[in-house]
């Protein structure tokens, strides 16, 4: 779902950062994270996003990562930036997004050129068509990622969408026999905790719940600690004598490329394949990297955001969110039973 500039208060949020010259891999990692959340540079080492709660959270996580890598980062919320008008900043967003759209168009046209020779054939091999479909799927995923970060509707979006659609029609016209093999995504394990040591605990997370904190709370309540209670704290509050999750600098939080939900699954060695599917959806929504390409992610994200806006109460939102994830679990469980 495209985010927009807040109509009240701050318009922009800035991240000013410095990284040590070595290792260069750390600098590259930070640069990639900035691309993944849609930030654009306006000065040397100064990146900007339209101000939203989500943008603030993205920058807070990144600031933590930068500091962990011995860098320095400061976050500013502003209604204007010195030397640049709002339109100047929006134009910078347009330039970055249009460049990404142009790359997608170029790669899609190259794919269309590669399959032109197959159109005159009555049939192509399964492997050949699957290769084309896989390549187009990657391009679609990339397009969706760019659209999700296109806060100001860059001009070249429609061209990219049309090129993808046309290529999809060409691939669908290819005739092929046989069935496709299905792949199964697996979640790797990490250091395991004993659930018996985490019973009837108070679990603490940050205020302003969204997908990772809601889903993680549901996972805790249903599969780790059925006697769990939950409380919510500010970003700068210190958690003492309770179990923190999805809080900066706590164990049960983002871990490597994993969101908190995935970290909890691995930490408690939970192997349920239905939870693996749900983890993929949560990951795609929370980290916005399109890793699993779950088509459900956008709709579920919209529901959670809308519910949060309607209720404006973390306790009530968690209650409703748990119902949503109970329903998701029921749905994916029934799908797996039908396949047997």
Are 75 and 37 a contacting pair, CB within 8 Å?
no
Q: If you ran DSSP here, which 8-state letter would residue 41 be given?
A: E
Residues 146 and 250 in one domain: no
Residues 292 and 199 in one domain: yes
Are 55 and 3 a contacting pair, CB within 8 Å?
yes
pLDDT digits (tens, 9 = 90+) for 274-325: 999 999 999 999 987 778 888 899 899 999 999 999 999 999 999 999 999 9
CATH code for position 59: 3.30.70.240
CA distance 80 to 13: 10
pLDDT digits (tens, 9 = 90+) for 324-339: 999 999 999 987 766 6
Residue 174 has pLDDT above 60, yes or no: yes
Is the Cα dihedral 246, 247, 248, 249 positive or negative?
Answer: negative
Residues 121 and 60 in one domain: no
Q: Please give the residue range of the domain that contains residue 41.
A: 12-84
Are 137 and 183 a contacting pair, CB within 8 Å?
no
What is the count of structural domains for the chain? 3
Residue 161: inside a domain: yes
- The CA radius of gyration of the chain, in Å to the nearest whole number, is 22
15: enclosing H helix or E strand: strand 12-18
CA distance 270 to 56: 31
Residue 190: inside a domain: no
Select from 84, 103, 133 the last residue of a domain. Answer: 84
Residues 80 and 92 in one domain: no
Are 225 and 198 a contacting pair, CB within 8 Å?
yes
Residues 148 and 247 in one domain: no
Select from 173, 206, 221 the last residue of a domain. Answer: 173
Residue 320: inside a domain: yes
Are 66 and 73 a contacting pair, CB within 8 Å?
yes
pLDDT digits (tens, 9 = 90+) for 178-212: 444 333 333 344 679 999 999 999 999 999 999 99
**Mean predicted confidence (pLDDT) in 94-99:** 96
307: enclosing H helix or E strand: helix 297-311
């Amino acid at each position: 779902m495209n985010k927009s500039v807040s109509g009240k208060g701050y318009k922009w949020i800035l991240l000013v950062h410095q990284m040590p010259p070595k290792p260069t891999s750390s600098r590259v990692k930070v640069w990639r994270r900035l691309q993944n959340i849609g930030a654009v540079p306006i000065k040397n080492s100064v990146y900007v996003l339209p101000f939203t709660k989500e943008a603030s959270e993205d920058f807070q996580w990144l600031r933590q990562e930068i500091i962990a890598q011995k860098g320095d980062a400061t976050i500013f919320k502003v209604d204007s930036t010195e030397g640049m008008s709002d339109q100047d900043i929006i134009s910078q967003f347009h330039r970055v997004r249009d460049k990404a759209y142009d790359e997608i168009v170029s790669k899609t046209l190259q794919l269309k050129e590669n399959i032109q020779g197959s159109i005159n054939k009555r049939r192509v091999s399964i492997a050949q068509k699957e290769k084309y479909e896989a390549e187009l799927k990657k391009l679609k995923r990339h397009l969706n990622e760019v659209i999700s970060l296109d806060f100001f509707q860059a001009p070249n979006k429609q061209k990219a969408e049309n090129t993808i659609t046309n290529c999809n029609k060409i691939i669908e016209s290819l005739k092929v026999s046989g069935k496709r093999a299905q792949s199964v995504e697996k979640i790797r394990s990490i250091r395991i905790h004993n659930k018996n040591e985490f019973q009837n605990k108070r679990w603490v997370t940050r205020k302003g719940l969204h997908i990772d904190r809601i889903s993680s709370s549901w996972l805790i309540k249903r599969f780790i600690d059925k006697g769990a209670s939950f409380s919510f704290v500010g970003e700068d509050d210190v958690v003492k004598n309770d179990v923190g999750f999805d809080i900066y600098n706590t164990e049960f939080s983002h871990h490597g490329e994993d969101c908190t939900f995935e970290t909890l699954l691995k930490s408690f060695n939970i192997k349920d394949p239905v939870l693996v599917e749900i983890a993929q959806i949560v990951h795609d929504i929370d980290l916005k990297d399109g890793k699993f390409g779950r088509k459900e992610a956008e709709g579920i994200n919209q529901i959670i955001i809308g519910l949060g806006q309607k209720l404006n109460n973390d306790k009530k939102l968690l209650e409703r969110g748990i119902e949503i994830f109970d329903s998701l679990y029921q749905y994916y469980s029934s799908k797996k039973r039908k396949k047997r």
